[in-house]
């Protein structure tokens, strides 16, 4: 379905853009059935694989999507997903990178059952997940806090869930997306940022305040796989 054209003058210049017919058909079917478009959701934070990550997980190649976070009480949590799982197949079809998961799940009708193969502890494991509904209101409401520290540091974070806090014993913010200075320093999706230097933080706003008043280099205290380490981040 043609949707746009490239033009400098308003006239057709021989280049157009189209929506794949299978995507258009899915939208049309949902509009006829429910009167609105619903996007599927699993409730995982994922990232692409590098050769180094693939080797560290004992994978034969770098195809797949690495699970960094699993939302509590989400379809993924109910299906048994764990942080560190690598999604390799969805309904028998190989996953090349993280965008495959996003597009396939997003275009799947909520309520659909999917067989998902993940790589865990050096071997494939099959999970059965029922696709949930992406709550656009919830996503929109979470964006302001998620983007608090993105400017200088380059991370999108979220607060800990009650289950993750372990009765208040754990504090900090969870990294959902990473880029810029943080990515160059090796910060990863799923890391728990506990503090900046010797100052502990509990919210995205506190993280932003500490980053804003820091110098050219800051030491982030993060927790990864149960171990706390300091990571130097150059933010100039």
SS3 letters across the chain: CEEEECCCCCCCCCCEEECCHHHHHHHHHHHHHHCCCCCEECCEEEEECCHHHHHHCCCCCCCCEEEEEECCCCHHHHHCCCCCCEEEEECCEECCCHHHHHHHHHCCCCCCEEEEEEEECCEEEEEEEECEECCHHHHHHHHHHHCCCHHHHCEEEEECCHHHHCCCCCCCEEEEEECHHHHHHCCCCCCEEEEECCEECCCHHHHHHHHHCCCCEEEEEEEECCEEEEEEEECC
Mean pLDDT of 94-110: 89
**pTM (2 d.p.):** 0.56
The domain locations on the chain are: 40-133, 136-234
Q: What is the pLDDT of residue 49?
A: 82
Q: Looking at the domain that runs over 40-133, which CATH code has it been given?
A: 2.30.42.10
Q: How far apart are CA 236 and CA 194, in angstroms?
A: 22
The per-residue pLDDT for range 35-63, each reduced to its tens digit, is 877 788 999 888 788 787 788 788 999 99
Tell me which range, 33-37, 121-125, 209-213, is most confidently predicted by mean pLDDT. Answer: 121-125
Q: How far apart are CA 41 and CA 27, in angstroms?
A: 16
Q: How far apart are CA 94 and CA 200, in angstroms?
A: 42
Q: What is the pLDDT of residue 13?
A: 67
For the cut 60, the answer to whether the pLDDT of residue 143 exceeds it is no
Q: How far apart are CA 232 and CA 197, in angstroms?
A: 9
The architecture in CATH of the region 136-234 reads Roll (2.30)
The per-residue pLDDT for range 123-132, each reduced to its tens digit, is 999 999 999 9
């Amino acid at each position: 379905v043609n949707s746009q054209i490239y033009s400098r003058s308003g006239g057709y210049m021989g280049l157009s853009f189209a929506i794949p017919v299978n995507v258009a058909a899915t939208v049309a079917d949902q509009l006829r059935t429910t009167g609105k478009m619903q996007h599927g959701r699993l409730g995982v934070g994922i990232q692409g694989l590098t050769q180094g990550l693939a080797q560290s997980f004992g994978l034969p190649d770098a195809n797949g999507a690495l699970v960094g976070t699993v939302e509590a009480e989400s379809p993924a949590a109910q299906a048994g997903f764990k942080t560190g799982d690598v999604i390799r197949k969805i309904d028998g079809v190989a996953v090349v990178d993280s965008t495959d998961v996003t597009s396939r799940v997003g275009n799947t009708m909520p309520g659909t059952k999917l067989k998902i193969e993940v790589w865990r502890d050096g071997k494939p494991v099959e999970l059965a997940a029922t696709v949930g509904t992406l709550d656009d209101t919830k996503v929109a409401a979470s964006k302001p806090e998620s983007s608090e520290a993105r400017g200088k540091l380059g991370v999108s974070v979220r607060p800990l869930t009650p289950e993750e806090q372990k009765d208040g014993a754990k504090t900090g913010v969870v990294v959902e997306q990473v880029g810029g200075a943080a990515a160059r320093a090796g910060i990863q999706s799923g890391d728990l940022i506990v503090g900046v230097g010797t100052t502990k933080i509990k919210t995205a706003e506190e993280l932003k305040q500490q980053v804003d008043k820091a110098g050219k280099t800051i030491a982030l205290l993060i927790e990864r796989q149960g171990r706390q380490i300091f990571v130097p981040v150059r933010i100039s």
